[in-house]
Amino acid sequence: MNRVYGVIGIKSIMANWNADFSGYPKTISDGSIFGSDKALKYSIKKYWEDRGEKILYIKSFKTDKGKIRPRSLEERYNQVFDTTLTKKDESTVILKNLFSALDVKSFGATFAEEGNNISLTGAVQIGQGFNVYEDSNAEEQQILSPFRSDKKPKEGKEAEEANQSTLGTKIVSDEAHYMYPFYINPTSYRDYVDMKVTEGYTEEDYKKFKEGALLGATALNTNAKAGCENEFALFVETDEETYLPNLTQFMKFEKRKDKEILTLNLEEILQGIEDDIKKIEIYYNDYKLKLNNIPKGAVLFNIFTRKEV
């Protein structure tokens, strides 16, 4: 298994890829829009779970005294691994269980239950995904509910509104393009391989990560995420001794009429290490996205069909 550096691109049209607590797209102090790594990981984990993979760190629910509530970590652990967690459980047994879950094997985990405090640094590390389209705007939509509000009517306008159907709000970005850097270090689990609790990060694990990275956002079927899709992914496989920086900083996005253009300014960063690069693969929406400065030797694929372009 090679070391891998890359970028995952998510397109959002009249959708909200990652909202803050106010409902608006997440921003930093200067107003730049970004998506957290958790948003991308969720789309990948949901894709895996829908295809029968064992996933631990994803919200699930149970009924308790007639109420529906999320499971605790312990309850989720017991459900996924069909066991009952106790303080007497050996750490090696817990580790074997954790590594058998694809999300833990990929992204790591913090497992803090009484008597067992385990922290695993994942082989796959994903950074924050900044929106590279400068003309993004947030749009606020008023939604009319088919149901009456049960709030106690007050005088004036509020009394009139209480007798009408309730209003809701949906906030979306008119258009945004998020670029997420990621890095895979297959040697992360060497100590755990020596402990015989995992076989390490394998080619099969990487293959499953690529599937989720190429299709996770497109496969999401929620109200807020309808309009979000995978549009770009770059995978640069290198030997164990090669280190590359965040590759998103060498990319420039532009929009001209009905065509989106992504320029890959990677020549300088890849110059001189051609012999250390095992493979470069680029998946993209070639119906809408045009690539400039494609790295020498890169193999291009349609991101939806996975067929070579």
**Is the predicted pLDDT of residue 8 greater than 90, yes or no?**
yes
Please state, in angstroms and rounded to a whole number, the distance separating the CA atoms of residues 193 and 175: 45
The pLDDT tens digits of the residues spanning 182-203 come to 999 999 999 999 999 999 999 9
pLDDT of residue 28: 96
Report whether pLDDT(247) > 60.
yes
Instruction: Tell me the pLDDT band of 152, cut-offs 50, 70 and 90.
Output: low
Least confident among 16-25, 71-80, 94-103, 147-156? 147-156
Work out the average pLDDT over 109-120: 90
Could you tell me which residue, 216 or 168, shows the higher pLDDT?
216
Q: Which residue has the higher pLDDT, 256 or 302?
A: 302
Residue 164: the pLDDT is 59
Residue 147 domain flag: no
Three-state DSSP string of 132-188: CCCCCCEEEEEEEEEEECCCCCCCCHHHHHHCCEEEEEEEEEEEEEEEEEEEECCCC
pLDDT band at 53 (very low <50, low <70, confident <90, very high): very high
Backbone angles phi, psi at 271, to 5 degrees: -65, 130
What proportion of the chain, given as a percentage, has pLDDT over 70? 94
Confidence bin at 115 (pLDDT 50/70/90)? confident
CA nearest to 125, candidates 67, 186, 178: 186
Q: How confident is the model at residue 178 (pLDDT cuts 50, 70, 90)?
A: very high
Band (257; pLDDT cuts 50, 70, 90) = confident
Look at the chain and report how many structural domains it folds into.
1
pLDDT tier for residue 145 given thresholds of 50, 70 and 90: confident
> Average of pLDDT values for 2-15?
96
Pull the structure tokens for residue 18.
């990652």
Q: How far apart are CA 229 and CA 231, in angstroms?
A: 6
Range of the domain at 241: 3-139+170-302
Residue 174 CB neighbours (<10 A): 14
Q: Is 113 exposed, middle or buried (0-12, 13-18, 19+ CB in 10 A)?
A: middle
Task: Indicate the SS3 state at residue 54.
Answer: coil
Task: Give me the residue label for tokens 């050996």.
Answer: 90
What are the structure tokens assigned to 253, written together?
Answer: 């996005």
Mean pLDDT calculated for residue range 83-110: 95
Residue 49, pLDDT score: 97
Q: Is the pLDDT of residue 134 over 70?
A: yes
Assess if residue 144 is contained within a domain. Answer: no
Distances (CA, A) of 277 to 244, 249, 295, 296: 11, 20, 11, 11
> What 8-state DSSP symbol labels residue 33?
B
Q: Tell me what the pLDDT averaged over the chain comes to.
A: 92
Maximum Cα–Cα distance across the chain = 76
pLDDT confidence band for 163 (50 / 70 / 90): low
Does residue 162 form part of some domain?
A: no
With respect to residue 280, please indicate whether it lies within any of the assigned structural domains: yes
Higher pLDDT, 1 or 246: 246
**Residue at 21 is within a domain:** yes
158 inside domain: no
Within a domain: 153: no
Mean predicted confidence (pLDDT) in 161-185: 85
Mean local confidence (pLDDT), 5-29: 96
pTM for the complete prediction? 0.92
Contact 134, 127 (CB under 8 A): no
| In-domain check, residue 121 | yes
